[in-house]
Amino acid sequence: MGDEKDSWKVKTLDEILQEKKRRKEQEEKAEIKRLKN
């Protein structure tokens, strides 16, 4: 059971990191659009 909990933690951590990366990319794209306009 302990292993399952750990793997769940790792999974959520990965998802959080991916979400942060995605958000950063979206913010950068929005900034580029703002600079162009």
pLDDT at 27 over 90: yes
pLDDT value for 4: 67
User: Is the overall model pTM greater than 0.95, yes or no?
Assistant: no
In order, the DSSP letters of the chain are -HHHHHHHHHHHHHHHHHHHHHHHHHHHHHHHHHHH-
pLDDT, one tens digit per residue, over 9-25 is: 777 888 999 999 999 99
Where does the pLDDT of residue 3 fall: very low under 50, low under 70, confident under 90, or very high at 90 and above?
Answer: low
Percent above pLDDT 90 for the chain = 57
